[in-house]
């Protein structure tokens, strides 16, 4: 049956004019007929299956053989794109085969065509390659954009390092470490490490603070020379020299296959390095990966310098605020004071919150609490100015409304761009009378001996920093015996970023017997309200009034 089929195609006038290669292939895969007058250079000739398969591109042979076998098994047509040896090189052809059957339906072979699609295929491959390049460029530009956005939010070194770690792991590397110059300038230290596998994070934590790398390590070399290092495959001899023996097992568990080390340079000086490693990832780093890490390091360096400046300011501001706030609380018969100040957990470390309590004369006590907008040394400085000015103003007047007016005038004159809240109260311990005024500050709470809670009402003027020509009208409250006055800043109720819920929780906590019976109610409130730290500064001042009877007994 094979010969007549081949003879039919050979004698066909139609096939002679087709601008494609035509061929016949039998069920064993042998090519029995080829017509390719218009396919210059094509070396396709009648040949057994094994012979023509060898003329296919090596990457196509297995795929074509599998497809051919599957088509013959079920007698189905086939459609293949393959590279065939033609004119000294390989060209792309689109091959299609139609089953040939006898009158009984038995498969005899296939009539096939092969169209030259080399130009089209190469154009597609070029476009695919360009698309891949564009995709990589877009992904990296996206990474740079996200990194810049996150770095703009980071303040401290810890936050800046965390941005670096999250930008690189796990998409780019399996684990990494960040080295920075010590504050005393004597060498470098690891300030952050992370592994993609949280199960191996304990190993990372154990390595932090150690000197697991020797002077022969790639990191030490980069810190000395300032030149980046690409280790496409980490050499075994270097691994043995670069790791201290006592840490060899830990590094082996983390994986050390391929590495890149790039310095942080500032004004020509090496201030640190970033060390990225692939251990689990089977793909080694390449030169283009080195360029990516270098660009990341270049963009991160200014953020590191800003974070270091912030850290220095934080230390100064912290010490300044510690000096500005009361060293000890007032001790006076009939009154018990307790206070807490805590800096913010993440967004800032020192702000403008204050509290104070001091004796004006033998009859009156001035209590105050306030919050200057902003954070850092400037906010702490303004806070100290307001607190100390309030003490100075009290030498000339003890009227809370007049004192608040003087504070408002002072802030407007010295810092016209700053806002602050404040509460000022003057307390007469012998009678329990409290005159008070507020400027945008959260209303204090009074807890009575019975546990009942009331919000301290009064004339609430606008924030300090907003012009208001009139003196505030003082409100007056009489404190009952064993009542507790709770003053606080908004960091307490905004600890979870839900003010309404924060205010509700504060009332519940103040109402509780735990606070009512505590000798340190401010600390109890703080521990209960903010167990894990707040996003803002927090200050709490509690004043427990024991009443005239207590005063009389202590004075006797």
How confident is the model at residue 218, as a pLDDT? 84
pLDDT over threshold 80, residue 534:
no
Cβ-in-10-Å burial (0-12, 13-18, 19+) of 143 comes to middle
| Of residues 54, 47, 56, the one with CA closest to residue 25 | 47
Domain ranges of the chain: 2-116, 154-315, 325-555
Give tens-digit pLDDT for 242-294.
Answer: 788 888 888 888 888 898 999 988 888 888 888 888 988 888 888 888 888 88
When pLDDT is averaged across residues 91-116 and rounded to a whole number, the result is 89
Q: What is the DSSP letter of 271?
A: E
- Topology of the domain comprising 154-315: Beta-Lactamase (3.30.450)
How confident is the model at residue 348, as a pLDDT? 47
Give tens-digit pLDDT for 322-381.
Answer: 666 777 788 888 899 999 988 765 444 567 888 999 999 989 999 999 999 887 778 888
When pLDDT is averaged across residues 389-398 and rounded to a whole number, the result is 92
In the structure encoding, which two tokens stand for residue 396, read together? 């000339």
H-type alpha helices, 199-348? 201-207, 218-225, 236-242, 248-254, 287-324
How confident is the model at residue 377, as a pLDDT? 74
Give tens-digit pLDDT for 404-429.
Answer: 999 999 999 999 999 999 999 999 99
pLDDT over threshold 70, residue 304:
yes
CA distance 255 to 350: 40
In the structure encoding, which two tokens stand for residue 472, read together? 């505030």
**CATH code of the domain occupying 2-116:** 3.30.450.20
How confident is the model at residue 208, as a pLDDT? 80
Lowest mean pLDDT of 38-52, 394-408, 532-546, name the range: 38-52
H-type alpha helices, 325-399? 377-393
Q: Are 21 and 46 in contact (CB under 8 A)?
A: no
pLDDT over threshold 80, residue 546:
yes
Given this chain, do its domains 154-315 and 325-555 carry the same CATH topology? no
**Rounded to an integer, what is the distance from CA 461 to the centroid of its chain?**
40
Class of domain 325-555: alpha beta
């Amino acid at each position: 049956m094979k010969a007549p089929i081949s003879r039919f195609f050979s004698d066909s006038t139609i096939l002679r004019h087709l601008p494609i290669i035509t061929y016949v292939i039998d069920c064993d895969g042998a090519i029995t007929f080829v017509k390719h007058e218009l396919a210059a250079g094509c070396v396709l000739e009648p040949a057994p299956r094994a012979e023509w398969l060898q003329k296919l591109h090596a990457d196509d042979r297995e795929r074509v053989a599998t497809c051919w076998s599957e088509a013959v098994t079920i007698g189905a047509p086939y459609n293949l794109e393959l590279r065939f040896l033609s004119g000294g090189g390989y060209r792309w052809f689109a091959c299609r085969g139609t089953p040939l059957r006898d009158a009984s339906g038995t498969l005899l072979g296939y009539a096939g065509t092969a169209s030259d699609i080399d130009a089209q295929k190469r154009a597609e491959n070029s476009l695919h390659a360009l698309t891949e390049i564009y995709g990589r460029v877009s992904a990296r530009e996206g990474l740079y954009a996200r990194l810049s956005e996150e770095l703009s939010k980071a303040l401290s070194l810890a936050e800046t390092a965390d941005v670096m770690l999250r930008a690189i792991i796990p998409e780019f590397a399996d684990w990494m470490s960040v080295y920075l110059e010590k504050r005393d300038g004597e060498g470098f230290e690891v300030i952050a490490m992370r592994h993609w596998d949280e199960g191996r994070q304990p190993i990372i934590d154990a390595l932090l603070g150690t000197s697991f790398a020797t002077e022969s390590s790639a990191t030490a070399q980069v810190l000395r020379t300032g030149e980046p290092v690409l280790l496409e495959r980490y050499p075994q001899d270097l691994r043995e020299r670069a790791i201290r023996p006592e840490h060899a097992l830990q590094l082996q568990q983390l994986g050390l296959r391929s590495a890149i080390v790039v310095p942080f340079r500032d004004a020509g000086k090496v201030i640190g390095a970033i060390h990225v490693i692939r251990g689990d990832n089977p793909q080694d780093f390449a030169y283009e990966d080195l360029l990516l890490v270098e660009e990341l390091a270049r963009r991160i360096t200014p953020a590191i310098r800003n974070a270091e400046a912030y850290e220095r300011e934080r230390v100064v501001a912290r010490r300044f605020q510690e000096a500005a706030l009361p060293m000890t609380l007032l001790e006076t018969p009939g009154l018990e004071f307790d206070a807490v100040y805590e800096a913010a957990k993440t967004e800032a470390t020192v702000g403008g919150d204050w509290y104070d309590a001091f004796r004006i004369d033998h009859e009156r006590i001035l209590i105050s609490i306030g919050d200057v907008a902003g954070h850092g040394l400037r906010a702490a400085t303004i806070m100290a100015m307001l607190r100390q000015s309030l003490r100075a103003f009290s030498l000339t007047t003890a009227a809370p409304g007049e004192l608040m007016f003087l504070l408002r005038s002072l802030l407007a004159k010295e810092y016209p761009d700053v806002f602050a809240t404040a509460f000022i109260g003057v307390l007469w311990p012998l009678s329990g009378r409290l005159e008070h005024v507020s400027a945008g500050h959260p209303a204090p709470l009074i807890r009575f001996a019975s546990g009942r809670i009331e919000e301290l009402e009064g004339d609430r003027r606008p924030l300090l920093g907003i012009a208001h020509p009139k003196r505030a009208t003082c409100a007056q409250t009489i404190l009952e015996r064993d009542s507790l006055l709770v003053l606080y800043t908004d960091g307490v109720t905004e600890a979870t970023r839900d003010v309404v819920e924060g205010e509700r929780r504060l009332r519940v906590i103040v109402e509780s017997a735990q606070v009512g019976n505590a000798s340190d109610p401010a600390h109890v409130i703080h521990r209960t309200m903010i167990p894990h730290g707040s996003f803002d500064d927090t200050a709490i001042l509690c004043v427990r009034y024991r009443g005239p009877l207590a005063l009389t007994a202590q004075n006797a």
